[in-house]
Amino acid sequence: MNKLFFIFLVLLSLTSCENKLSDAEKKYYENIIQYRIDKDNFMQNDPTSPFNAKGKVPFNKLKYFEINLELRFKSKLMIYESQDTIVIYGTKGEPRKTIRFGYLNINYRNHNYKINVYKSRYDDLDYYSIWFTDKTTNKESYGVGRYLDFELNEDLNYEYDIDFNLSYNPYCAYTHSYSCAIPSKEDYLDIEVNAGEKIFHE
């Protein structure tokens, strides 16, 4: 289906709802739809994607929950005073050291939840990770858990966008050639995160 026509059909269905979307919300929907189209293209065609890099894996379009405006949040990063080094495990059983760096607070339907941010090092570079499980895990979403990208901002008062519509599966969700970090019990969110990527193999 033509990409622009697909976007038009989605927006047409949205504007028929009783509560009309604002222009900003319509633009947000367009951006998420475009993001999903671009990701499918990368997964199918890029030689570095998990479907191509370690032997050809059959590709099907990725599956997603409907876009959920309720599951977008703003939050400041709270850095732990004591940044403990902990061991987590990959899906192939290997131990991995990471630092429990900080956390983000979100309020969803009048309940507060904490999201941990982890700091790891690879090729002499620091990188930061969010991974989580929730009530959809191993049902509608991938059984190991899902991830959110996180880029540290040096401004301590910076408000981060926490958008679960951008939550995604790690590469091990598509092929056993990869090992991915398994979220700990502390990374469980006691809600249905019915946004973002769904389980790939059913």
For residue 98, the cross-strand partners are: 86
Using the predicted structure, report yes or no on whether residue 43 has a pLDDT greater than 80: yes
Residue 11's pLDDT band, with cuts at 50, 70 and 90, is low
The residue with tokens 């008062």 is: 157
Beta strands in 58-157 (DSSP E): 72-79, 85-89, 95-108, 111-122, 125-132, 146-150
For residue 157, the cross-strand partners are: none
Task: Decide which of 13 and 59 is more confident.
Answer: 59
pLDDT at 21: 85
R_g of the chain, CA atoms, integer Å: 18
Residue range 160-171, pLDDT digits in tens? 999 999 999 999
Average pLDDT over residues 32-46: 98
Using the predicted structure, report yes or no on whether residue 187 has a pLDDT greater than 50: yes
pLDDT at 15: 45
Residue 18's pLDDT band, with cuts at 50, 70 and 90, is very low
Residue range 128-145, pLDDT digits in tens? 999 999 999 999 999 999
Q: Is 108 helix (H, G, I), strand (E, B) or coil?
A: strand
pTM (two decimals):
0.89
Residue range 99-113, pLDDT digits in tens? 999 999 999 999 999
